[in-house]
Amino acid sequence: MKKYALSLCALLVPCVVLAGGIEIKVNRKNLEAQRLKAPKFGENPTGSETVAYQVSVQNKEFKAMPPLKARYIIFVERQQIGQKVGTETVEQIKGEADVPEMGAMKGESFVTNGVKLLEEQLSGKYIAYTDGGRIKAKDRLVGIWVRFFDGETQVGEYVNPVNLKTRHTWE
């Protein structure tokens, strides 16, 4: 049953994880979007989107929980024009937030720092790279990894997608 819940969790957004007496929910939040716009002469069309995650934590115990420190890493795949498929880089954007004391069965939430996702394409449909480089580049969110600490003791963790832990390390 537990394996089923974890695989179902990887498919659903928002996802809920229960760990150490706290329930963790994470939702993607769009902050700002700028569609591909017509470029000036000699420039490539570009666009961007700024996204963040809203992280909600709820105390599931019948006693108050002390303040927590949340540390997170947002993983973003960055693509470049002219780069071959499969050579993308994954950037790790780190941050932290303070979660105030939570009463019994109470919750708190915070929003991570915004991440700017860029999109670019070559102008003119006749241009192509002879070595197979991409003519369109679009950054994408890979996932988020959040850990909650009471002092130096880890009391909760959230990873989406679940296999993020096997492909990347917490550093």
Q: Read off the pLDDT of each residue in 33-54 and give the average, rounded to a whole number.
A: 72
pLDDT of 142 strictly over 80: yes
What does the pLDDT look like over 100-125, one tens digit per residue? 999 889 999 999 999 999 887 776 65
Question: 2-167: which CATH topology?
Answer: Immunoglobulin-like (2.60.40)
pLDDT band at 80 (very low <50, low <70, confident <90, very high): confident
Residues 6+ apart with CB under 8 A from 112: 52, 53, 54, 55, 72, 74, 95, 97, 144
pTM of model > 0.85:
no
Q: What single letter denotes the amino acid at residue 157?
A: E
Q: How much is the pLDDT for 95?
A: 95
pLDDT of 144 strictly over 90: yes
The closest of 90, 89, 146 to 113, measured between CA atoms, is 146
Q: Read off the pLDDT of each residue in 40-47 and give the average, rounded to a whole number.
A: 63
Show me where the domains of the chain are located: 2-167
CA distance readout (Å), 4 to 11, 74, 108, 139: 11, 25, 28, 31
Residues 6+ apart with CB under 8 A from 78: 88, 89, 90, 91, 118, 139
Q: How much is the pLDDT for 145?
A: 94
Q: Read off the pLDDT of each residue in 74-98 and give the average, rounded to a whole number.
A: 87
Q: How much is the pLDDT for 9?
A: 43
Q: Is 51 helix (H, G, I), strand (E, B) or coil?
A: strand
Q: How much is the pLDDT for 7?
A: 35
Mean pLDDT taken over the chain: 80
